[in-house]
Structure 1
Amino acid sequence: MTIQTQRLSPVFNKTNQVADILGAGFLWLICSVPVVTIGPATAALYYTVVKVVRRNRETVVKSFFHSFKNNLGQGIILTILYLLYGAAIGLYILAALEGRIQMNPYIICTLGIILACPFLFTIVYIFPVISRFQAGLIRQIQYALYMSIRHFPSTIALLVLLAFMAVLIYFVPFLMAILPGFYAYLGSFFIERIFKKYLAEEIKKYKDPTDLPWYLE
């Protein structure tokens, strides 16, 4: 009986992890309905996936709403900024396609890339950053931009993963209720490795590894 339980334990653990990921993704979807709360909901999703699923601490609901509440103000401001930034990129592309920008096509393309890169590079980092680090708004954006450039291969991998998830959702809208949590989970393997590089000095403060806070484990 004991042997059977031990054999089944990894299966139950994986099942619980999947259930927690789906639960966190569902909370993200509900809390993103007002649109302006997509930012704090995304920060809470990342925080929950790492703390509950990967570190096995607390519960999905408690962790999600703890982070959502803590990052609500900053997250809403960032959401509005990124929505406006994304709209500006969209208008630029539309104007270019309609021929309303009278410039050399290569210059138009180059300017478009320059305009889009800060948006694309930071969008995959900014909300995980605010879920983990306490700083002013400008500083958080600087953190995200620096990480995106310093860890460029990971940035590309995160963008490819995000694009893949977006395409799946475009063709199967129902997946909006499922995939966000899995994106946060898979993305956390890149982002957590990056975060630890900037938390090395804090880790040194703890002589006993068992005393480490969950986010430093």
Structure 2
Amino acid sequence: MWGTIFNPENHFFQGIDRLFTIMALSLLWLGLCLPLVTAGPATAALYYVLVKCLRRREPYPFKNFLECFKLNFKQGFLAGLICLVVGQGAVLLLYLFYQMAVSGNRTAVVLLVACAVLTVALLGYIAVLFPTLSRFQMGLGGLFLLAGRLASAHILTTLGLGLVLILAGVGVWVLPIGALFFPALAWLLISVPLERIFRAEMLRTMELPPEEERPWYLR
């Protein structure tokens, strides 16, 4: 009986291990996002390891995280810079339209709503972009084009992904201790529809190898 209780393979200890992994990966991701410009490769690495090691039960999550971070650092860095500039522009427009709407400008109210929807779509696009970086090997331009095609082909899903990121950010803002869980949990949730989209895209563009030769993400 005691051997069963203290068996590291039982559901209790596996649950504790997964909880620790979620907390540690969230903190690692947050630490690497502090310089902002490294948020891109950090996000690609977080998504990669969450799907590979938590959902597909592959081993060595932290080793896989660092390997993915290094592999995609250059493109993730550049993509992150572009997203940062575009994001700052979106925030500025939201602020300007909000101030105009508060002053009684009715046109500004319409523009504010439109800008808010576009901002959610932009966040949804970002939620597609960096996971795409972690899965597909291509140039920077090809990365933005592929992510744009996938995001626009599944626009409602894209908007939903943007809302997930907003809710995770609000959760951390309201409950700071949520920083231990919300980042990893948000990307785990995002991976559910995104993996179906990725799988369909890969099966469309490549011949499915025999089962024993398939990479982990096609098993």
Fold match (TM-score > 0.5): yes
Q: Where does residue 19 of structure 2 map in the other structure?
A: 18
Q: Tell me which residue corresponds to 2:187.
A: 184
Structure 1 match to 2:201? 198
> Contact 2:121–2:158 (CA<8 Å) still a contact in 1?
no
CA distance in 2, matches of 1:162, 1:114: 14
Q: Distance in 1 between matches of 2:162 and 2:121?
A: 13
Change (3 A) 1:146 1:113: farther
Root mean square deviation of aligned Cα: 2.8
Pick closer, same or farther for the CA change 1:9–1:137 going to 2, 3 Å: same
Report whether the alignment pairs 1:155 with 2:155.
no
Structure 1 residue 11: Cα displacement? 2.9
CA deviations 1:152-210 (Å, max 9, x no partner) are 33223322322221111111123223211111222111111110001115774412x12
Which residue is 1:215 aligned to?
A: 217
Q: How many residues align?
A: 215
Q: Is the 8 A contact 2:123 2:161 kept in 1?
A: no
Q: Which residue of 1 aligns with 2:123?
A: 120
| 1-structure distance, mates of 2:145, 2:205 | 20
TM-score by length of 1: 0.85
5+ residue gaps, structure 1: none
Q: Partners in 1 of 2:120 and 2:141 — Cα distance?
A: 18
What runs of 5+ residues in structure 2 fail to find an aligned partner?
A: none
SS in 2 for 1:135: coil
TM-score (norm 2): 0.85
Q: 1:214 is aligned with what amino acid?
A: W
Q: What stretches of structure 1 move > 6 A for 4+ residues in a row? A: none
Q: Percent identity?
A: 29
TM-superposed CA distance for 1:63, in Å, is 0.4
Structure-to-structure mapping, 1:88-167, within 5 angstroms = 88-99=89-100, 104-105=107-108, 108-109=111-112, 112=115, 116=119, 119-167=122-170
Matched-pair contact (CA < 8 Å) for 1:41–1:68 = yes
| Match in the other structure for 1:38 | 39
Q: Does the aligned pair in 2 maintain the 1:121–1:145 contact within 8 Å?
A: no
Tell me how far 1:122 sits from its aligned partner. Answer: 0.8
Structure-2 change in CA distance of 1:20 and 1:47 (3 Å): same
